[in-house]
Amino acid sequence: MPGVEWRGESAFALEPTSVGPVDWLFSDIVCYPARLLTLVERWRDSGLVRNFVCTLKFQGETDHDSAAAFAALPDARVLHLHHNKHELTFLLMR
């Protein structure tokens, strides 16, 4: 698709500056929410991403502290959508 780039590498090793500015960053990575928060904060701090849509996947007990940390980011929303089972959807749109 024109204007869409897919990268087949580790999301955690990918440096925002190697990609440049992006309008949307989507993540459905299977990882602990605290690790995803680190990734989101790195990209957010870079100033290179306008919008995020990420799935927070909980393994075992719900990580309420991580969910609250996502929700505390400026302009963020954390939702439990209809098809989210033991997951939440993080949105940050500017």
Q: What is the pLDDT along the chain (94 residues), one digit of tens a residue?
A: 888 878 788 999 999 999 999 999 999 999 999 999 999 999 999 999 999 999 999 988 899 999 999 999 999 999 999 988 899 999 999 8
What is residue 47's predicted lDDT score, i.e. its pLDDT?
Answer: 96
What is residue 8's predicted lDDT score, i.e. its pLDDT?
Answer: 84
DSSP tag of 53: E
CA pair distance 92, 39, nearest whole angstrom:
14
CA pair distance 26, 24, nearest whole angstrom:
6
pTM equals: 0.90
Which residue segments constitute the domains of the chain, with CATH numbers given?
Answer: 19-89 (3.40.50.150)
